[in-house]
């Protein structure tokens, strides 16, 4: 069995002879934030919204097949035992309650999908989630096949470009350009060259601007995920000034448009394309 598009969860394919996701119900994330309702003006004023988390519903089945042969065992007792072993395996993965090293949540989900209509090829996208509710399952005690639904909550609603093993794919900008993707990108590493007083980087497309006060002795590395700034190996976060309209995010890249980037030093913005 091999679905054209499928999921891998914590390194295990959920497209196998023993268990699989039959279909996925996807929903876009809801908006966070509200428009302003000024008392001394007519109507309301629009304010930029943010995406909340999202939930997917997986319709799954588990059977009595051996994963190597794709066939059930010869005896009825062995078939029931194989079904229970397969069910234990998938439940052990889904019910994980701790995040592994490098994971943002207990479940690492790698989505295999097709891209490029003229020459279809595999592309992979990554997200992290956790089981969002109990699993209900009706099981005939003489049967060796089960169906159930699993709801998976993605805390960050964005999917990120990756390879087949779930390692994020780095992209970079060293000048004005389109970052790609379909979702606003706020997680990145920015490197500013050394030797210039008060180096800065600005994205006039999104209103993001970061300015370092002083003259760094080494290349500055700005981490917008950990909210840190390093001059070489020395932490100098307190020297960074965040101005413009996106001080909460530190820096933004807007998808599908050319982002106008400017700086008084050479720079590299390293990020992963984000998708909804």
Residue 111 in any domain: the answer is yes
Residues 131, 242: one domain?
no
Residues 13, 136: one domain?
yes
Beta pairing partners, 36: 45
Q: Residue 200 maps to which CATH number?
A: 2.60.120.860
13: pLDDT strictly greater than 80:
yes
Query: Of the residues 162, 180, 199, which one is the last residue of a structural domain?
Result: 162
Residues 107, 191: one domain?
no
> For every residue of 155-213, which 3-state class applies, written as one string?
CCCCEEEECCCCCECCEEECCCECCCCCCCECCEEEEECCCCCCCEEEECCCCEEEEEC
Residue 1 in any domain: the answer is no
Residues 107, 184: one domain?
no
Residue that the structure tokens 């019910």 belong to? 95
**Coil vs helix vs strand at 45:** strand
Q: What is the mean pLDDT of the chain?
A: 93
pTM over 0.75: yes
Residues 148, 233: one domain?
no
pLDDT band, very low/low/confident/very high, at 48 (cuts 50, 70, 90): confident
Query: Of the residues 130, 162, 194, which one is the last residue of a structural domain?
Result: 162
Residues 107, 187: one domain?
no
The average pLDDT across 159-175 equals 96
Residues 149, 268: one domain?
no
Residue 46 in any domain: the answer is yes
138: pLDDT strictly greater than 70:
yes
pLDDT of 269 reads 97
Residue 244 in any domain: the answer is yes
Contact status, residue 150 vs residue 61, Cβ threshold 8 Å: no
Contact status, residue 214 vs residue 194, Cβ threshold 8 Å: no
Residues 150, 176: one domain?
no
Residue that the structure tokens 């590299």 belong to? 268
Residues 11, 143: one domain?
yes
Residues 185, 52: one domain?
no
Residue 209 in any domain: the answer is yes
Q: Residue 106 maps to which CATH number?
A: 2.40.30.200
When divided into structural domains, the chain yields a total of 2
Residue 55 in any domain: the answer is yes
Query: Of the residues 135, 162, 189, which one is the last residue of a structural domain?
Result: 162
Residue 254 in any domain: the answer is yes
The rounded percent of the chain whose pLDDT value lies above 70 is: 97
Q: What is the pLDDT of residues 222-274, one digit of tens each?
A: 999 999 999 999 999 999 998 876 667 899 999 999 999 999 999 999 999 99
In angstroms, the Cα distances linking 42 to 37, 39, 45, 46 are 9, 8, 9, 12
Phi, psi of 260 (to 5 degrees): -85, 105
Residues 65, 158: one domain?
yes
Residues 140, 190: one domain?
no
User: What is the residue range of 262's domain?
Assistant: 171-275
Q: What is the pLDDT of residues 59-74, one digit of tens each?
A: 999 999 998 888 999 9
């Amino acid at each position: 069995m091999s679905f054209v598009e499928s999921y891998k969860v914590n390194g295990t394919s959920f497209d196998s002879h023993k268990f699989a996701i039959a279909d996925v119900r996807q929903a876009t994330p809801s908006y966070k934030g509200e428009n302003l309702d000024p008392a001394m003006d007519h109507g309301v004023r629009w304010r930029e919204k943010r995406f909340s988390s999202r939930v997917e519903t997986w319709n799954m089945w588990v059977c009595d097949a051996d994963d190597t042969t794709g066939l059930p065992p010869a005896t009825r007792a062995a078939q029931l035992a194989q079904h229970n072993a397969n069910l234990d395996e998938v439940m052990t993965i889904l019910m994980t309650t701790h995040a592994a090293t490098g994971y943002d949540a207990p479940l690492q989900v790698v989505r295999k999908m097709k891209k490029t209509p003229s020459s279809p090829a595999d592309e992979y996208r990554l997200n992290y989630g956790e089981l969002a509710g109990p699993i209900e399952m009706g099981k005939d005690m003489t049967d060796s096949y089960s169906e159930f639904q699993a709801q998976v909550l993605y805390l960050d609603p964005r999917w990120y470009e990756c390879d087949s093993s779930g390692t994020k794919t780095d992209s970079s900008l060293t000048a004005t350009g389109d970052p790609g993707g379909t979702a606003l990108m706020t997680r990145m590493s920015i490197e500013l060259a050394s030797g210039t007083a008060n180096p800065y980087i600005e994205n006039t497309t999104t209103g993001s601007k970061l300015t370092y006060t002083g003259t760094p002795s080494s290349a500055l590395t700005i981490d917008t995920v950990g909210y840190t700034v390093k001059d070489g190996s020395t932490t100098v976060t307190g020297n960074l000034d965040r101005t413009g309209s996106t001080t909460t995010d530190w820096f933004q890249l807007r998808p599908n448009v050319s982002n106008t980037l400017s700086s008084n030093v050479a720079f590299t913005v390293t990020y992963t394309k984000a998708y909804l």
